[in-house]
Amino acid sequence: MATTTMTAEGAVRAYLEFIQNGTGIGRQRSVAARAKDPIVKLKALAAVAQADALEADFVAHAHEFAVAENIPADAWGKLGVKSEVLRKAGIPVAPAVRRVEKKRPASKPPATRRRRSARAEPLALDAVAAKLPRKPFKVKDLAERIERPSDTTRKYLDQLVKAERVSIVGQDTSGRGKPAKIYQRA
């Protein structure tokens, strides 16, 4: 398919039309690799060869066309031309920005993190009440004091609210999600 008489515009046009028609070179390679029917495989291999020839012509002429027509690299990308093909053609492409997942810091370093048995012994309600902060607090504040998970601490607080030893005085809306309740000794 590659011809020496193809113009820069003709090579670019043929390649852009090919990638925009939706057959995709990757899909054709996949079909060729998986096909059991020899005719299907033959047609897929022919499409791959055609695509390779179109890509080779594009690579040979795209830089010349881009310079002559003042086409920026991002315009090619918007039409579906892959960065690796643009690089082969000598068209400068900004490096891809990779997303890096941030690791959440542990509440304590691994060496000092306390390991608990499967279940901690339940605390007496009076023991929890004795550790209540003097000023308004959230569940997490009390959880740190009694060294229990937040869900367990919340259950203790529910019992203390029913016993009227603690009252709910408001909500903290500064964080994300459901607002945290603010408690105070009764």
Q: What is the pLDDT of residue 155?
A: 92
Whether 95 is in a domain gets the answer no
Total-model pTM: 0.45
Whether 43 is in a domain gets the answer yes
What's the number of domains the chain is made of? 2
- Cα–Cα distance measured from residue 184 to residue 118, given in angstroms and rounded to the nearest whole number: 31
Q: What is the pLDDT of residues 51-92, one digit of tens each?
A: 888 888 888 998 888 888 888 888 888 888 888 888 888 888
Q: What is the pLDDT of residue 2?
A: 46
Q: Which of 62, 88, 114 represents a domain boundary (last residue)?
A: 88
The yes-or-no verdict on residue 18 having pLDDT over 60 is yes
The yes-or-no verdict on residue 98 having pLDDT over 60 is no
| 78, 132: one domain | no
The yes-or-no verdict on residue 43 having pLDDT over 80 is yes
Q: What is the pLDDT of residues 48-58, one digit of tens each?
A: 888 888 888 88
Q: What residue numbers bound the domain in which 19 lies?
A: 8-88
Alpha helix stretches (DSSP H) within the chain: 8-20, 25-34, 38-69, 73-78, 83-88, 125-130, 139-146, 150-162
Q: What is the pLDDT of residue 102?
A: 57
Whether 98 is in a domain gets the answer no
